[in-house]
């Protein structure tokens, strides 16, 4: 199955000249599946457009963070950023996530947001999940308060701080069942549109025309590509929606922690002049590897698996074999580095590499001050849009 996933990704992103006979043999089946998928998504949109299927509206504002392609677009880091933004201003957010792939992203959010007022609801039926949480905690009547949100001084709300004030829909762009007040779409600068085909023939969940529904576009990993590449992406987005605000972000490494002790923080200089094996099962392994290389290790090797991949015992054996080969080649004990998402998916599995140090890289989403699109402007757009929902001028 992993081999097929790799082949499908290769078909989606590689130039036709690089496709093998195996890739070409899969293409007719993928084309048929992609055509059926196209019909299905168009039918679904029409059913909602003509109110045959109804959108559910929550009693609190809803922010959707989504994308048009599969994996590696920075959705979860943006969800964390937005959740902290509200929690820091004493508005309790509810994150609604499907829990796909063993709920690794939900587990990561739970760990990262522990000790805050953020609540995390996991389940495929996010309307039902939201209803359950709102019944349990209640919701805040925020009329007249969003105009103060993100002000220089932290706002003081007299309502119960535990009550839900806003819902954040993780991976929500295609979740049409829930009404949203702000649509944020994430775009991976390293792997934006691929071959421009719908899944599974290509990486697109919807045609690019779906950008018309977005209120904000964020080009993620913008620091890892050339300016001409981000200019081209910006141009593509504006051809669909000329007036959309566009922001640029990156993943900023913060520290490491050893797999055996999550409470121990280690500086980024830990991997300087060290032999490193990057092990990952994420949507954009290239960005992870590039950031490790920037930290000055002596040598970087990598083993990449598909997004949400759960490492199996035979794969851990393969990792151990690679580590022994690196140790023999460089006469030094290598270090394994994984992402937080990989750690939270299966921390116990990683402990089987007990003869080697396994470090977890912690990163946080950071806005790039580019073309006037700053973090402060992003926050203002969020505030203004939610104030409009509440009738605040």
pLDDT tens digits for 316-364? Answer: 899 999 999 999 999 999 999 999 999 998 888 888 888 899 999 999 9
Residue 158: pLDDT above 50? no
How do beta strands 358-367 and 246-258 pair? antiparallel
- The stretch 367-378 carries a mean pLDDT of 90
Q: Which of 210-214, 263-267, 352-356 has the lowest mean pLDDT?
A: 352-356
- The stretch 132-148 carries a mean pLDDT of 77
Instruction: Say how far apart CA 233 and CA 120 lie, in whole Å.
Output: 32
| 300 Rama class: left (phi>0) / alpha (psi -120 to 50) / beta | beta
Which residue did the predictor score with more confidence, 185 or 153? Answer: 185
Quick one: pLDDT band at residue 151, thresholds 50, 70, 90? low
Q: What is the residue-averaged pLDDT of the chain?
A: 90
- The stretch 178-198 carries a mean pLDDT of 95
Q: What is the pTM of this model?
A: 0.91
Check residue 391 and give its pLDDT. Answer: 60
- The stretch 246-267 carries a mean pLDDT of 95
Chain segment 292-324, per-residue pLDDT in tens: 999 999 999 999 988 888 888 888 899 999 999
**Strand (E) or helix (H) holding 47:** helix 21-49
Q: Is residue 215 a contact partner of residue 84, using CB atoms and an 8 Å limit?
A: no
Check residue 6 and give its pLDDT. Answer: 81
Check residue 305 and give its pLDDT. Answer: 87
Q: What percent of the chain has pLDDT over 90?
A: 72
Q: Is residue 204 a contact partner of residue 194, using CB atoms and an 8 Å limit?
A: yes
Q: Is residue 302 a contact partner of residue 278, using CB atoms and an 8 Å limit?
A: yes
Which residue did the predictor score with more confidence, 330 or 282? Answer: 330
DSSP state of 155: P
DSSP state of 193: S
């Amino acid at each position: 199955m992993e081999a097929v996933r790799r082949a499908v990704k290769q078909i989606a992103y590689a130039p036709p000249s690089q496709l093998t006979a195996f890739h070409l043999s899969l293409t007719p089946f993928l084309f048929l599946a992609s055509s059926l998928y196209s019909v299905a998504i168009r039918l679904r949109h029409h059913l909602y457009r003509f109110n045959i299927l109804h959108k559910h509206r929550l009693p609190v504002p809803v922010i959707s963070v989504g994308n048009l392609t599969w994996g590696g677009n920075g959705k979860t880091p943006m969800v964390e950023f937005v959740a902290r933004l509200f929690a820091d201003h004493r508005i309790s957010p509810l994150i609604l996530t499907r829990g796909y792939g063993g709920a690794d992203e939900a587990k990561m959010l739970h760990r990262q947001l522990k000790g805050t007022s953020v609540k995390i609801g996991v389940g495929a039926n996010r309307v039902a999940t939201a209803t359950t949480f709102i019944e349990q905690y209640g919701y805040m009547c925020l009329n007249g308060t969003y105009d103060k949100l993100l002000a220089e001084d932290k706002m003081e709300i007299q309502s119960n701080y535990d009550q839900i004030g806003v819902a954040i829909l993780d991976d929500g762009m295609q979740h049409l069942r829930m009404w949203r007040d702000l649509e944020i779409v994430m775009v991976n600068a390293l792997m934006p549109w691929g071959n421009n085909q719908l899944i599974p023939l290509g990486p697109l969940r919807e045609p690019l025309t779906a950008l018309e529904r977005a209120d904000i576009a964020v080009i993620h990993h913008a620091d890892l590509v050339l300016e001409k590449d981000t200019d081209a992406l910006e141009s593509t987005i504006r051809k669909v929606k000329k007036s959309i605000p566009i922001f640029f972000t990156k993943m900023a490494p913060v520290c490491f922690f050893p797999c055996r002790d999550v409470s121990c923080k280690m500086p980024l200089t830990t991997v300087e002049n060290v032999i490193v094996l990057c092990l990952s099962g994420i949507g954009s392994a290239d960005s992870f590897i590039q950031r490790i290389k920037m930290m000055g290790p002596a040598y970087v090797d990598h083993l990449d698996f598909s997004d949400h991949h759960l490492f199996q015992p035979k794969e851990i054996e393969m990792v151990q074999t690679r580590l022994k080969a690196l140790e023999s080649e460089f006469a030094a004990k290598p270090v394994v580095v994984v992402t937080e998402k990989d750690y939270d998916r299966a921390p116990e599995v990683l402990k089987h590499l007990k003869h080697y140090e396994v470090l977890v890289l912690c990163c946080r989403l950071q806005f790039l001050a580019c073309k006037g699109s700053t973090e402060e402007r992003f926050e203002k757009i969020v505030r203004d849009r939610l104030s409009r929902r509440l009738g605040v001028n």
